Amino acid sequence: MDIHARVVAAVETLKPTCGREAINEAMAAGFEGLFATNGFATDVRSPAGLYVSAMRTGFYAGNPQHLSPEFRECVVLAVLVVQGADVNLALHVFIALASGISVADVLDVVFLAGMYSGANLLSQSMKVVTKAFSAIIAAADAKATGPAAVFQHIAAQFTDARPDDARAPRRDPL
């Protein structure tokens, strides 16, 4: 079985516990923890709390007045390629696939954004996507349940990135 078919099969295996609502909740919980660690209030009256609430109630579930989740993820993928944001790009590869974007379309978006941002970012982004695909397959093989478990499989592919650094309190509070 080729890599595209293996990724598609893995995403189908993971989808029952990794729907848009579950992704909303996992992303909101992650941002809530990040904000709280850095001393920001996360109640619904604070800017950080409003952001968390927006994530929890529909950022990835879609809103008919805004971009579709599929289109939004294409934009996010392109932005993360241009930024060279490896771990975040890998996480959003999974979110894009779980949102219904095809493997071929993920590759096209990454390739297009990489072409316009330089050979180094294109090369690095394609490596990131390859790692993300491997992690998604591994998560399905391990019978991961929920987005947080899949995210852990993906983050483990980037041992040099130290994703826990984001949870360290900021030294210069805003």
- Whether 169 maps to a domain, the answer reads no
Of 157, 162, 161, 151, nearest to 29 by C-alpha is: 151
- Whether 166 maps to a domain, the answer reads no
Q: Evaluate whether 14 touches 150 at the Cβ level (below 8 Å).
A: yes
Q: Evaluate whether 82 touches 117 at the Cβ level (below 8 Å).
A: yes
- Whether 162 maps to a domain, the answer reads no
Residue-level pLDDT at 63:
57
Give the separation between CA 154 and CA 90, rounded to whole angstroms.
7
Residues of the domain holding 136: 3-61+68-157
- Whether 111 maps to a domain, the answer reads yes
How would you write the pLDDT of the chain (174 residues) with one tens digit per residue?
Answer: 798 899 999 999 999 999 888 888 888 888 888 888 888 888 888 888 888 888 887 665 555 557 777 888 899 999 999 999 999 999 999 999 998 999 999 999 999 999 999 999 999 999 999 999 999 999 999 999 999 999 999 999 987 654 445 445 545 544
**Dihedral angle sign, alpha carbons of residues 55, 7, 156, 105:** negative
Give the separation between CA 168 and CA 53, rounded to whole angstroms.
22
- Whether 101 maps to a domain, the answer reads yes
* pTM exceeds 0.85, yes or no: no
Give the separation between CA 171 and CA 174, rounded to whole angstroms.
10
